[in-house]
Amino acid sequence: MIANWQWLVLRTTPPRSWGWLWLLLAVSVSAVLLYGLWRLSTVETAT
């Protein structure tokens, strides 16, 4: 399902906006990683 969604986005997005797409992807991934690290740190300090 995710692969189909990515394929659809790549098919419907002009090449000039791929920079924004990759930027959004990088920001979302880094946000998830930072949130995960923050959750781990809070769990470790709480226990």
pTM here is: 0.52
- Tokens 């959004």 belong to residue: 24
Instruction: Classify each residue of 29-44 as buried b or exposed e, where b means 16 or more C-beta atoms within 10 Å of its C-beta.
Output: eeeeeeeeeeeeeeee
Task: List the chain domain ranges.
Answer: 2-46
Tell me: the pLDDT tens digits for 10-47? 777 677 777 888 899 999 999 999 999 999 998 877 66
